[in-house]
Chains A and B, each alone.
Chain A
């Protein structure tokens, strides 16, 4: 058993070596789901959300459920605390908490268990605190509802345990005065305030920046370890699950397809779905690239294919001292300057991919908007083939637009819901007066073919398509004008892991075929590792580091880049390069 694990997990070693614990075959599981089925009643009849799910959580153990959106992972976890939505019900099986079947328990009994026996840390820190009550009040009512002392000092203690500095005065603030990370700490404080034996953490950090995410998860780890709390962690990120959990459960379309020790699952996935997931998850893939490079194994097959990897001297875009200052209106009519982008310089070699990486508020999207010519620059220049586009007139700007096209993050927002697919892809041709109706239709067919969508899809509307398909349509539209540069603004961030991998491959293939240059705006370094030739790291409007992807990943020079790299989920995993 231990042979399948790379090296003893440092911090957990002490517990692992306790013989009494290790041999505790007779210990009762804290939570056990048996043959669980959950059904939602909708307007179109009953829809099964979860089928035959089974899992066990032992006392003090961290179990992660991994799955894509709609896999039933959150529903399963919510059922364990009796929080299914009103139209959902447990239609089969049992949920046994500490020997007691929750599915047949009274509402009163479940309320008793919530908080004091089973705690929860929800996903989105922005929406999970009531905006009209002070943080302290929201902690206090938790303590009081579970019969614990709830004086101001108790509240402050709970908050400071969760790593909130200056807790006593912070308790008197409202949620909107907290940053996202601080709100998540407050939610962790609430979840653990009554010392539950099981904590359900539903994507507790997916809404946060990676560096904050890392801090919060570390703190959660430490706290639950100290308190001996078992954790049921819900996540879409296999790397994060493997790093944080003893045991990983993989769910797919409402069923558990594979379960086992974290590393075992990574190194020896047996179910085809798990195998695909291990092969595609960016955090795992980027980890593997690093491992392979260390081992001196060729990494070409791990990297996305590209036309020319050799250094190209032909710069298609050169950005120099680009600056954007926004005026922010303050009180009493004063306005302050906010420098969103501060003297940023970088260039894109033709046929390659340059990634601009940063956390929220780093100014990376503003850079994208300026390069697209949608936002004027305050100063500096953007040269496209040597011509500064910041000084273009209306007519030249219109022509310039054919050469640079965007792809956006949200596949639900980037297509006009009123346009069918044909009209969507044809629009750029029509706007630029290219061809007649017949040749335009031919071109649309070709474009659909290029993004691997059937031409039968032309008459459909965006609401009938999946996220990945919409993103393909968005790519087809971007390619309609035969651009030279495509700006991908978080283009794969909203997609499920497997779809994300498909789209990344498609982008890479298109680059190879058409010689496209990409400007890739993203917060996700794992994705950058897979696709970018060149990386520029932005922090608070400034470009703090840039270089080839290898340089930046192998020898990050600034502390910020180092922190970003360390925060990639699964960064601590050591993976064999040959695993695929």
Chain B
């Protein structure tokens, strides 16, 4: 039991106006327990500074990223694919289009031709290696295009709201009603494009029908950041609306856009190959995995390997971008970032 304390009312007797004390009294004896102060030291209020080096958010994301097996695998794969696309000559000595002998048509593996031959009698390995470039170029530039256009439209819609948002959102909805492949089919068969079929026109088509997704993601991310107190604080410092958008809102809204952009890089590579596979993508003289799958289609039963190898290369490339996107999502997750 504690020492009896002096009556708290010792110095001031309650007047009539004093409310009656409302503390409850238990019917059971209650011990006054005090923990040993040595065992429960009171630390200085509110101190967290450690000696560790300062860590920015990107720094922290990078630290968690480089520990992830998913990231390591996908990063290595992507670097390898880029390397192959840049220096195809290092991986095969066979020229992809010459030396195609009809007598080799659909032939199996032979010395110097480890993966066998296509229906035209070309070396499969060489075609797969040389096809990397166009697939990657289309994917990369289409992604760049949608991030610029979709990102800009989404950011403006999200930040300014009101009628700007309403108009831009409706336009996005209209393009959304035409799925990527469907829209591309309509456009690709037009004479303008039939006469100018190449990597760049394909990029333009993919960007035209692909931007609404990034716009939606950016808009949502910007709206989330727009109302943050630090943006209000910047505005009350005298930063202009556009300044606040560029300096504070966009950098903080970037994470989900990066994630989706990485994944859509894979999606665009698939879209290119799907169109090529349908015979309406890249022209037949451009080497691409989709074109090779398209031309191997008729002899599927006799030579499935002619489809298998470009299909494998395509799948691995797309898989590595999707895995990278997944790994980035984990590292940049805004929920985990809060504290």
Q: Do A and B touch (CB < 8 Å)?
A: yes
Q: Which 4 A-B pairs have the closest CB atoms?
A: A572-B22, A295-B12, A260-B32, A246-B26
Instruction: Identify the stretch in B74-82, B90-98, B202-210, B231-239 within 8 Å (CB) of chain A at 4 or more residues.
Output: B231-239
Chain B residues with CB under 8 A of A339:
none
Nearest opposing residue in chain B for A29, CB measure: B28
Task: Provide the bound-state CA to CA distance between A456 and B51, in Å.
Answer: 10
Chain B residues with CB under 8 A of A91:
none
Query: Are the CB atoms of B18 and A294 closer together than 8 Å?
Result: yes
- In the complex with contacts A247-B30, A252-B42, A294-B12, A374-B236 CB distance below 8 A: yes
Chain B residues with CB under 8 A of A242:
23
Query: Are the CB atoms of A294 and B5 closer together than 8 Å?
Result: no
Query: Are the CB atoms of A252 and B229 closer together than 8 Å?
Result: no
Task: Provide the bound-state CA to CA distance between A22 and B26, in Å.
Answer: 8
Scan residues 63-121 of chain B and give those whose CB is less than 8 A from a CB of chain A: none
Task: Provide the bound-state CA to CA distance between A577 and B8, in Å.
Answer: 9
Task: Provide the bound-state CA to CA distance between A468 and B44, in Å.
Answer: 12
Query: Are the CB atoms of A572 and B21 closer together than 8 Å?
Result: yes
Query: Are the CB atoms of A374 and B25 closer together than 8 Å?
Result: no
Query: Are the CB atoms of B9 and A474 closer together than 8 Å?
Result: no
Query: Are the CB atoms of B236 and A246 closer together than 8 Å?
Result: no
Task: Provide the bound-state CA to CA distance between A259 and B45, in Å.
Answer: 21
B155 shortest CB reach to chain A, Å: 16
A325 shortest CB reach to chain B, Å: 17
Scan residues 23-69 of chain B and give those whose CB is less than 8 A from a CB of chain A: 23-35, 37, 39-40, 42-43, 45-50, 54-57, 60
Q: Does A291 contact B (CB under 8 A)?
A: yes
Chain A residues with CB under 8 A of B243:
431
Q: Does B178 contact A (CB under 8 A)?
A: no
Q: How many interface residues does chain B have, given as a range?
A: 35 or more
Chain A residues with CB under 8 A of B1:
1
Task: Provide the bound-state CA to CA distance between A18 and B27, in Å.
Answer: 8
B45 shortest CB reach to chain A, Å: 5
Proximity string of chain B (212-228) to chain A, C-beta cutoff 8 Å, 1 when within and 0 when not: 00000000000000001
B47 shortest CB reach to chain A, Å: 7
Which of A12, A267, A413, A463 has a CB less than 8 Å from the CB of B24? A12
Query: Are the CB atoms of A260 and B31 closer together than 8 Å?
Result: yes
Q: Does B195 contact A (CB under 8 A)?
A: no
- In the complex with contacts A270-B34, A463-B57, A253-B25 CB distance below 8 A: no
Main secondary structure of the interface of B (DSSP, over half): loop
Proximity string of chain A (421-446) to chain B, C-beta cutoff 8 Å, 1 when within and 0 when not: 00000011001100000000000000
Query: Are the CB atoms of A25 and B29 closer together than 8 Å?
Result: yes
Which of B34, B43, B238, B251 has a CB less than 8 Å from the CB of A271? B34
Chain B residues with CB under 8 A of A263:
8, 21, 23
Task: Provide the bound-state CA to CA distance between A468 and B235, in Å.
Answer: 23
Query: Are the CB atoms of B15 and A413 closer together than 8 Å?
Result: no
Task: Provide the bound-state CA to CA distance between A465 and B48, in Å.
Answer: 6
Query: Are the CB atoms of B236 and A418 closer together than 8 Å?
Result: no
Q: Does B177 contact A (CB under 8 A)?
A: no
Residue positions of A touching B, CB distance < 8 A: 1-10, 12, 15-16, 18, 21-22, 24-25, 27, 58, 60-62, 242-247, 252-253, 255-265, 267-268, 270-273, 276, 291, 294-297, 372-374, 398, 401-402, 404-406, 408-410, 412-418, 420, 427-428, 431-432, 454, 456-457, 459-461, 463-469, 474, 477, 481, 498-499, 502, 571-579
Nearest opposing residue in chain A for B12, CB measure: A295
B11 shortest CB reach to chain A, Å: 6
B14 shortest CB reach to chain A, Å: 7
B258 shortest CB reach to chain A, Å: 14
Chain B residues with CB under 8 A of A409:
229
Query: Are the CB atoms of B34 and A257 closer together than 8 Å?
Result: yes
Query: Are the CB atoms of B12 and A576 closer together than 8 Å?
Result: yes
Query: Are the CB atoms of B230 and A258 closer together than 8 Å?
Result: no
Residue positions of B touching A, CB distance < 8 A: 1-2, 4-5, 7-12, 14-15, 17-35, 37, 39-40, 42-43, 45-50, 54-57, 60, 228-230, 232-239, 243, 248, 251-252, 337-339
Query: Are the CB atoms of B237 and A258 closer together than 8 Å?
Result: no
Chain A residues with CB under 8 A of B28:
21-22, 24, 27, 58, 61, 246
Chain B residues with CB under 8 A of A418:
56-57, 248, 251-252
Which of B23, B46, B237 has a CB less than 8 Å from the CB of A428? B237
Query: Are the CB atoms of B21 and A498 closer together than 8 Å?
Result: no
Chain B residues with CB under 8 A of A8:
25
Query: Are the CB atoms of B21 and A573 closer together than 8 Å?
Result: yes
A15 shortest CB reach to chain B, Å: 6
Chain B residues with CB under 8 A of A4:
2, 4-5
Query: Are the CB atoms of B234 and A406 closer together than 8 Å?
Result: no
Chain B residues with CB under 8 A of A6:
7-9, 21, 23
Task: Provide the bound-state CA to CA distance between A245 and B234, in Å.
Answer: 45
Query: Are the CB atoms of A463 and B339 closer together than 8 Å?
Result: yes
- In the complex with contacts A402-B238, A461-B55, A502-B45, A9-B233 CB distance below 8 A: no
- In the complex with contacts A9-B21, A413-B229, A270-B8 CB distance below 8 A: no
Task: Provide the bound-state CA to CA distance between A406 and B231, in Å.
Answer: 12
Chain B residues with CB under 8 A of A401:
236-238
Most chain B CB inside 10 Å of its own CB: which residue of A3, A252, A257, A499:
A257
A98 shortest CB reach to chain B, Å: 16
B270 shortest CB reach to chain A, Å: 33
Query: Are the CB atoms of B20 and A12 closer together than 8 Å?
Result: no
A290 shortest CB reach to chain B, Å: 10
Nearest opposing residue in chain B for A221, CB measure: B24
Nearest opposing residue in chain B for A472, CB measure: B46
Query: Are the CB atoms of B19 and A574 closer together than 8 Å?
Result: yes
Query: Are the CB atoms of A576 and B9 closer together than 8 Å?
Result: yes
Chain B residues with CB under 8 A of A499:
45-46
Instruction: Please name 8 pairs of A and B residues whose Cβ atoms are closer than 8 Å in the assembled complex, sorted by A.
Output: A21-B27, A246-B26, A264-B32, A270-B32, A271-B40, A402-B238, A427-B234, A578-B11
Chain A residues with CB under 8 A of B21:
5-7, 9, 263, 572-574
Chain A residues with CB under 8 A of B237:
401, 405, 427-428, 431-432, 477, 481
Which of A271, A296, A415 has a CB less than 8 Å from the CB of B230? A415
- In the complex with contacts A262-B23, A463-B339, A577-B11, A408-B32 CB distance below 8 A: no
- In the complex with contacts A461-B54, A461-B56, A256-B239 CB distance below 8 A: no
Query: Are the CB atoms of B48 and A466 closer together than 8 Å?
Result: yes
